[in-house]
Chains A and B, each alone.
Chain A
Amino acid sequence: MAKRKLLVLSRYGEKGASSRLRFFQYITALQAAGFEVTVSPFFDDDYLEALYVTGRRSGADIVLAYFKRMLMLLKARDYSAVWVEKETLPFLPGIFEAWLSFMKVPYIIDYDDAIFHNYDQHRSLWVRTLLGTKLDVLLGAARCVTVGNSYLEQYAIQHGAKIVECFPTVVDIKRYPVLPPVASSELRIGWIGTPSTSKYLEIIRPVLESLSKKINIKLVTIGAPDLGHYQCPLEQHPWSADTEGLLLSSVHVGVMPLFDDMWERGKCGYKLIQYMACGRPVIASPIGVNVDIVNPDVGFLAKTEDDWHAAFEVLMADAALRDQMGINARKLVETQYSLQVIASRLVTLLESKICVA
């Protein structure tokens, strides 16, 4: 069998969450299966670190990134296949993916969020006109499209993708040991995210504020900005890879409120999977993939404030239910949302798509 050389065109280096979860964490399994994997991120880790520190993007770095990516595409012929995160060149027409097709290099494209709404819902008419259908070209020519949920799957099918495979965003269960919950008289409600996604917490803020007057609860955030204005007991932690597991294990229930909007429907529910991997029950808005992940054995879907209210009260009152849901949740992650299970499926898929070339 000829050597299978796979070129991975990720958006970021390993420090970028989506690139890490959708690409980097599979590399070991791909190599074990005999793939020779070359990764070429669009933006490297230095760019991302600078962005985190300064909050600004360097124009020169962006130009350099485009240039580097174009060079890489010219070399694509040396590989058996190319596996692309979202698109090869953001905000440029799909001629480079067309180039891949022209060179007869099979490519697989992956979506873990509704990136197409960057174009088809853009406020600029120019962008909507020039790029609104960009992804249709990409999808039509791809050997296969991998997506993180059924909303993205539907979109890909409707826009010309021939083969679409759904791969949830998963966790490496070895990184999430289940720690026994700490004895506590309060219900510790956990949330993990970034400053940009903390807006969703506003959905449950009134519920938390009113509940805290009746029962002993505490909101525990990991990675959120200062929420000092919330009128409820609060414990805030910065995010770090080292403390993430321990902090997640210190909560009794994990929450994922979401607005009901197009962008949110394309999300992959990663934080739910993290709470569940730690053996904790979840409460989530019934938006997009959340509906697929959360079943009555592992937690609650809460649409209205009353739903949230009721779910918190049930979990506060019934520790046994909380424990059982947490144990079920971990099991669900192990069997359906773990790298350990999904990696072999992904390897098989890539093998089948590449070997026929």
Chain B
Amino acid sequence: MCGLTGFASTSGFESGWAERVATGMASAIMTRGPDDAGVWVDGSAGIALAHRRLSIVDLSPAGHQPMVSGSQRFVLAFNGEIYNHLELRAALERSSAAIAWRGHSDTETLLACIEAWGLQHTLERCVGMFALALWDRQAAQLSLARDRFGEKPLYYGWQGSTFLFGSELKALKAYPGFCASVDRQALTAMMRFGYVPAPYSIYQGIFKLPAASWLTLRPAAGAAAMETPKTYWSLQQAIQQGKQNPFQGSAADAVNELEQVLRQSVRLQMMADVPLGAFLSGGVDSSLITALMQAESSRPVQTYTIGFAEEGYNEAAHAREVARHLGTAHTELYVSAQDAVDQVALLPAVYDEPFADSSQIPTMLVSRMARQHVTVALSGDGGDEIFGGYNRYLLADRLWGRLRHLPPTVASAMSRCLTAMPEERWDAFYQVMSFLLPQRFQVAQFGNKLHKLAEIMQCGSPEALYQGLVSQWQHPEQLVLNGSETPGLFARMGAGTSTDGFVPWMMAMDTMTYMADDILVKVDRAAMAASLESRVPMLDHRVVEFAWRLPHSMKVSDGQGKWILRQLLYKHVPKNLIERPKQGFAIPVAAWLRGHLRPWAEDLLSEQRLRRDGYFNVDLVRKKWEEHVSGRRNWQAQLWCVLAFNSWLQSDGYLQLAIA
């Protein structure tokens, strides 16, 4: 796992200059790959590729990148892992003459596959997480590609006659004279979702390559001749195939088959020439991944968890129980509010595109802790989207079942009733009454959820209900000055996704949007900032394709999500260690904004700054902030979005001292 970057020009350039600039761009993402650096330049063709390497597989110089193919035709800069690369080698050896392998890196395998099968067919056969830049010397053509779910990032865009690309925006920004304005449509979307959805980036003219796609361009032909990215796999297609070929066996058969598929994924992802461990929160997903790892390993698996001093946010005790049961070598890090608050200053450097999922903070802390012991960590991410784990699925389904019968005026009146009482009061009320509820109905942050519910009671369609549920600001166009919503982005994706029912549809949408652009971004940047490689076994596409063959009742059933994952987990961990309200890596942002983080937030949300920067409706932000600080309302999610953008803007410095 590494970082890649580079640039291509419409005409040739001085190789020495290009080498130095490409080296500088790669240095900007050094934490992604501290072990080795390489640059490959062809000045007359106008192409420069650069790479930073975190050595995981084949630690020898034979894994050095950018790597030139055996025939000298292709040059590759590659970030990620091809988990099935040994299978691919075997396939190559079967189909063509013996190849004189120089080492055992997956980069070398990938190049040989591309030579034999071409890029598209190679991508179709790869199992893994990756982003790559491939230069075809014969065709004078550059290709960029990304894995199926968007685990590894890749940005690109033109600056004048130069095409830039890189694993993170930092690398592009290190190109001398990089200059781009904030894209207000992207900013509006960021205020809605808390992240900038692909294919957009926060900068005008700079894009994220969407998951499961590849892009080919001839730099000499210039920006105008560039085609849009093509896809080599799609979730929507996988869903269709799942419908055409549904799983026919019993529930027990399904659990057994899932175990095989997931275990295969875990086994492949445990391939590394360096120490490897797992993030363990004690929830269903991370416990299951850890259990399967332990089943695959003769020695105790290294596991890591993070605990908070604050009551109601601490999962460490649960994780410890699971670890003890599985017999892992478990490490806990207890952090104080101050430790977490200290991370806030680092956020714009780690997340170089504004990003507002506050669980980024514990993810950064746990990544840094894990890196002290291991170079690779497996996580349970993806389970919620693939197997239906979010509470909102249950909630939305139940709600829509009822809401659709409610006259709009009644829904609106009920909504007003719910917001009449502040979240904190609802929380207090809930604490007193919660003993009456069975354990599986208990939820964390009750008041916050009720307020969200109130907002969504006014939705007129299931799609609108879902959009309401995943939105931080319900009307971001009122917040962002000269902002507008990206027309049709959401609707296009939603309409192209055909599922049997509302909940599967939400799961598919989450996989393509929230998981790709929030969850995976959060994990990749946090881990890479610590030079730790994170791997996500749930996202082996064969696991996902299998999940979409299963009947929905094996995912969400009887008021509970991830049914089949639980059944599988119970084979390894007793039920009583797992069953409790779902929490995630939530941190008490609402309280911190009124306490430790208040001076930081006051500065970033000051009227003077907001006016000077000119991005937000000042009165709206100030009103939300004052209500939040007073304790009357909890606007943490909304404010965190604005804070994330403003702190990013501040670090972006001169680039954005706005001139239209």
Contacts and interface: CB of A to CB of B under 8 A. Distances in A.
A252 to B, nearest CB: 9
A74 B18 CA distance: 58
Interface string A324-357: 1011001100110011110110000000000000
Given A177-B160, A180-B162, A340-B654, A327 B14 contact: no
A182 B655 contact: no
Interface stretch (B5-13, B249-257, B294-302): B5-13
Interface string A158-182: 0000000000000011101111111
B658 A32 contact: yes
Contacts of A323: 16-17, 20-21
B649 to A, nearest CB: 13
Given A28-B660, A178-B176, A344 B16 contact: no
Nearest to A347: B612
Nearest to B658: A32
B177 A173 contact: yes
Interface string B631-660: 000000000000000000000011111111
A320 B14 CA distance: 11
B654 A180 contact: no
Contacts of A28: 659-660
Contact of B14 (A174, A177, A183, A334): A183
A3 to B, nearest CB: 15
Contacts of B72: none
Contacts of B43: 183
A279 interface: yes
A56 B441 CA distance: 89
A211 B15 CA distance: 25
Interface string A223-250: 0000000000000000000000000000
Interface string B1-43: 0000000010111111110110010000000000000000001
Interface string B603-631: 00000000010100000000000000000
Given A179-B160, A327-B176, A330-B176, A320 B657 contact: no
A184 interface: yes
B226 interface: no
Given A179-B160, A181-B13, A327 B179 contact: no
B44 interface: yes
Contact of A182 (B13, B20, B177): B13
A177 B16 CA distance: 19
A302 interface: no
A245 B653 CA distance: 24
B20 A324 contact: yes
A277 B15 CA distance: 21
Nearest to A343: B659
B17 A339 contact: no
A319 interface: yes
B211 to A, nearest CB: 30
Most chain A beta carbons < 10 A, residue from B161, B175, B179: B179
A320 B24 CA distance: 13
B159 interface: yes
A180 B176 CA distance: 9
A181 to B, nearest CB: 5
A311 interface: no
Nearest to B9: A180
A279 B655 contact: no
Given A177-B177, A340-B659, A182 B161 contact: no
B176 A326 contact: yes
Contacts of B12: 182-183
Given A177-B159, A180-B21, A327-B21, A341 B657 contact: yes
A22 to B, nearest CB: 16
Contact of B17 (A319, A335, A338, A341): A319
Contact of A344 (B21, B655, B657): B657
A29 interface: yes
Interface string B503-532: 000000000000000000000000000000
Given A323-B20, A344-B612, A183 B179 contact: no
Given A29-B659, A279-B177, A335 B654 contact: yes
Given A176-B177, A178-B176, A184 B657 contact: no
Contacts of B11: 182
Contact of B16 (A277, A320, A330): A320
Given A179-B161, A180-B21, A172 B657 contact: no
A340 B15 CA distance: 31
A319 B176 contact: no
B657 A32 contact: no
Nearest to B43: A183
Interface in A173-197: 173-174, 176-184
A243 B618 CA distance: 42
Contact of B13 (A174, A180, A277, A344): A180
A335 B655 CA distance: 9
Contact of B44 (A178, A183, A334, A335): A183
Contacts of A183: 12-15, 43-44
A338 B657 CA distance: 10
A33 B608 CA distance: 11
Contacts of A279: 176-177
B117 to A, nearest CB: 34
Contact of A327 (B16, B24, B658): B24
Most chain B beta carbons < 10 A, residue from A179, A182, A341: A179
Given A181-B17, A330-B176, 4 more contacts: A179-B9, A277-B177, A319-B17, A340-B659
Interface of A: 28-29, 32-33, 172-174, 176-184, 277, 279, 319-320, 323-324, 326-327, 330-331, 334-335, 338-341, 343-344
5 contacts: A179-B9, A183-B44, A320-B20, A327-B20, A340-B659
